[in-house]
Amino acid sequence: MCRCKHPVSNSVKDKVSLFCHVPPEQVIDVHDCKSIYRVPLLLSQQRIVPLIAKRLQVDVKSPVKPRHFMAQWKELAEREERVLTEVKIALVGKYTKLEDAYISVLKALKHASLHCNRRLEVVWVESENLEKDVQERDPVKYHEAWQRLCSCDGILVPGGFGKRGAEGKIAAAEWGRKMKKPYLGVCYGMQLAVIEYARNVLGWKDANSTENEPDTSHPVVIEMPEHNPGQLGGTMRLGRRRTVFVEDYDSITRKLYKNAAFVEERHRHRYEVNLKYIKDFEQSGMQFVGRDVDGERMEIMEIKEHPYFVGVQYHPEYISRPVRPSPPYLGLILASIGKLPQFIARGCRLSPRCSISDDDEDDYEEELAKLAKPPE
C-alpha cells in the first residue's frame, strides 16, 4: 500500500515492485482523496478484492451485486464532494472542545445528512453556557450560546453523565419543545427531556434524576433497581437489546423503522425513566411508544403535536452505517429540512431519483443470516 499525496505513476509502481519482490499489480496506490468515501472506490478500481482473495486462496461470495453496491457508494462520495444545501444541527453537550467524545454521533449525523442530500454543519453549543447562573456571571457567553442554539434547524442532546451542564440541556429541550424545533435526545438526552416535561408541563418544579438530586420529591429518572443502587462498578445496562413498539400508538419512530414490531439496538446506561410516573406523562401528551420486552423499561419517547420530538434510551448511532443511516438520526435531519412528512408518505423510502437505498443492505444481512445457519 503506497500512501502519498498524489497518484503513483506506473514507473514508481515498477520500482516498488522490484525492490519489494511483489508483482506490479500488487502495488496499490492509496493517494489523498477529496473525501474518505473515495478510498473504497480507489481500492476497488485497482481490484484489491480479487487480489486478496487470490493470495489467500479464498472464494469470495457476495449475496449482493458488487457493481450496484459500488454505485451506491459512488453516489455517497459524490454527495460528500458536492456543494449541497446546508442543514445546521445544534449538538448540546459538555465535551464540545473534544469532538472525538461524540465521534459516533457525528458519523450518524453525517450518514443521515448525505442520504437527505444535505451538507451537515454541526453547531457546538456548550450546555453550561445555556444556564441561568452563567447569564449573571458571563452574559456574553450566555447570549452567544443561545444565539448559536436558536440559529439551528434541529437539536441533538447526546448521551452523558453527571450534573454539570444538565440544566443547560434541559433548557435546550424546553426551547425545542416550545418552539416546535426538531429534537432528538439520546440516552441522557431523553432522560433530561422527560425531566423538562415533568417540570414545565406537569408542574413538578423539583422533578429530577436521582443521579443529580437524590432527595427530589419527584424522581422521574431513577437508577435501575436491580443493579445495586449507589455502586458504579459493573452496573451499566450494556449490549444489544430488544425494544418492542406499543401497538396502540401512532409512532413516528416506528414508521422510520419501516413499521417493525421491534428493533434491536445497543444500550449503555445506568438510569431509566421511573415506571410509576408513566401514566401521568402519557395523560398529558408524552408517549412512550417503545418499551423493553417486559414492558417495564421506557425505550422510546415521543411528544404528540410536535413535528419531531423524540427520545431514545439506547444509542442508535452505534450501528449507523453510510448506506444504512440510523432511523432516529434520519428522522431528525428530515424534520430539520421539512421533508419528514413526505418521506413517511412514501413509505419511508428516499426519492426514486436517489440511487442510495438501504433495501439491498437489508437483503445482504438476510442472506448472511441464511449463510450462517447450519445445513439441515
By annotation, the residues acting in catalysis are 187, 315, 317
Task: Give the DSSP letter string of 71-119.
Answer: HHHHHHHHHHHS---EEEEEEEES-TT-GGGGHHHHHHHHHHHHHTT-E
Q: Which amino acid is at 214?
A: P
**Continuous H helices in 1-65:** 10-20, 38-45, 48-56
Pairing mode of beta strands 86-93, 154-157 = parallel
Gap between the Cα atoms of 307 and 144, Å rounded: 26
Phi, psi dihedral angles at 263 (to 5 degrees): -135, 160
Phi, psi dihedral angles at 225 (to 5 degrees): -60, -30
Gap between the Cα atoms of 13 and 22, Å rounded: 10
User: How far from chain centre, in Å, is Cα 36?
Assistant: 19
Length of the chain: 376
Which grid cell is 365? 444481512
